[in-house]
C-alpha cells in the first residue's frame, strides 16, 4: 500500500510539473510571436529615435507645446534603456536555448 501511495504522489507531482511546463511553453510561444509581429514597429521606433525629427519633437516638447500628451518616447534615456534591455534579453535567450533543447 505504501508503494502505491508514493507512486500516486509522484504522479501527482509530475502532472503538476507537466501542466506547468505546457503553460510556460505556450506563454513563451505567444510572447515570441508578439515580439516577431511587433518588430516592424520597433524598427520604426529606432528610426525615429535616430532621426532629426526626434530632435525636433524634443525641442517642441521642451517648449511645452505637448501639454497633456504622454512623451516618454522623447526621453533619450527611456528609448536607450529599451535598446539595452532588448540586447540583454537577447543574450539571455541565447543562454536559455540549451535549456529548451533538452
**In terms of DSSP H, where are the helices of 1-102?**
2-49, 52-62, 76-100
Give the model's pLDDT for residue 1.
63
Q: In this predicted structure, what is the pLDDT of residue 30?
A: 97
User: What are 56-86's pLDDT values in tens digits?
Assistant: 999 999 999 998 999 999 987 999 999 999 9
Q: 3-class SS at 7?
A: helix
**DSSP-derived secondary structure for 65-87:** TTTTS--GGG-HHHHHHHHHHHH
pLDDT tens column, 10-51: 999 999 999 999 999 999 999 999 999 999 999 999 999 999
State the pLDDT confidence band at 9, using cuts at 50, 70 and 90. Answer: very high
CA 100/CA 102 separation, integer angstroms: 6
Per DSSP, the three-state class of 54 is helix
Amino acid at each position: 500500500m505504501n508503494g502505491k501511495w508514493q507512486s500516486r504522489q509522484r504522479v501527482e507531482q509530475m502532472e503538476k510539473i507537466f501542466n506547468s511546463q505546457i503553460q510556460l511553453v505556450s506563454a513563451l510561444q505567444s510572447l515570441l510571436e508578439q515580439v516577431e509581429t511587433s518588430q516592424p514597429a520597433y524598427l520604426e521606433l529606432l528610426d525615429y529615435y535616430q532621426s532629426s525629427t526626434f530632435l525636433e519633437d524634443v525641442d517642441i516638447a521642451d517648449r511645452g507645446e505637448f501639454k497633456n500628451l504622454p512623451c516618454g518616447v522623447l526621453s533619450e534615456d527611456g528609448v536607450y534603456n529599451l535598446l539595452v534591455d532588448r540586447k540583454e534579453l537577447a543574450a539571455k535567450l541565447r543562454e536559455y536555448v540549451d535549456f529548451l533543447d533538452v
